[in-house]
Amino acid sequence: MGDRRIVLVTRKTRLEELVQKYNTAGQARFYIEHLGQDFSDYLDEHDNYKRMADRILSSIAGSNKYIHVDRSYLSSFLFDDSDMVYVLGQDGLVANTMKYLKSQPVVAINPDPSRWAGILLPFTCSQALVDPEKLIGTSRERNITLGKVSLNDGQEMLAVNDFYIGQSSHISSRYQIFHRDRSESQSSSGIIVSTGVGSTGWLKSVIAGARGISSALGNGKLSSGEDGAYPWDADYLKFAVREPYASPVSGAGIVFGEVHDDSPLRIVSGMSDRGVIFSDGMEGDYLEFSSGMTASIGIAGHKAKLLQPL
């Protein structure tokens, strides 16, 4: 592997998060059982995850430079261009990790296939327990298009799944939207901009809701087979406006479309307070999006590389 470094990314288990909140495992148990839940499920998940992490660490520690990084340190961790990155799932952890990478190969491992479906977790632990050089030689790369938002103050953010643009709370998001040769002022529950990977998630649910409403109203204009899904490496994004409200000062004409290099999406905030942009469900890691700020949404200049078994 030469000078290649192996980076293993893991997360806290639900049990660890409970102990962090309630100080001890005993207090965490009392809380969970008081709510009528099975605490043993938390224990089993924790024990299995730690066992898988130990197996992977033992495998990569023998003949390679390596480092173990918790999810909470990703935003400040410096990845090298030559790194090979192992991620011990869930899907959200893979997406969160890819945002901080360039084109380093990612080995995404499902710690418990019986528990997690793992759309972004193609490797089992056993499949990953081989020499990293051999793993690269027996895998294929799958390119993943990333979304990128750029603010007029110089801040930027990437998305593996999707962006949310709007209010941080459940009040109306006010902004101007510009797409192709059209523009309008809107008041809505915010805008979702999805990549191909994310198109089977939040975007799919938005389209499913629109289809259900259309059917209930007797319009039936949405095909039952249209769910918005599209290829992971597609060179475009899709956007959807959630619950747009038409009024004398706000429109509902630009509510769905594609974002291409030659037709980016531009949003000018009209939110004096609590306007935000976040990606991949990470609400705590957001860009402030206050009145007068402009966000330009398009495609990132590089693709993520997810290794998959042949």
Residue 67 pLDDT exceeds 90: yes
Question: Residue 99 has what DSSP assignment?
Answer: T
Contact yes or no for 161/198 (Cβ under 8 A): yes
**In this predicted structure, what is the pLDDT of residue 214?**
79
Residue 81 pLDDT exceeds 80: yes
CATH topology of domain 5-137: Rossmann fold (3.40.50)
Residues of the chain with CATH 3.40.50: 5-137
Residues of the chain with CATH 2.60.200.30: 146-300
Both tokens of 64, joined, read: 């390679």
For residue 235, what are the CA distances in angstroms to 129, 298, 299? 34, 10, 7
CATH number of 146-300: 2.60.200.30
Task: State pLDDT tens for residues 191-220.
Answer: 999 999 999 889 999 888 888 887 788 766
Residue 150's Cβ-side half-sphere holds a number of Cα atoms within 13 Å equal to 9
**In this predicted structure, what is the pLDDT of residue 1?**
46
Residue 221 pLDDT exceeds 70: no
**In this predicted structure, what is the pLDDT of residue 83?**
94
62-66, 110-114, 150-154, 304-308: lowest mean pLDDT where? 62-66
Compute the distance between CA of residue 95 and CA of residue 242 in angstroms, rounded to an integer.
Answer: 23
**In this predicted structure, what is the pLDDT of residue 143?**
95
Q: Which residues pair with 276 in a beta bridge?
A: 166, 288
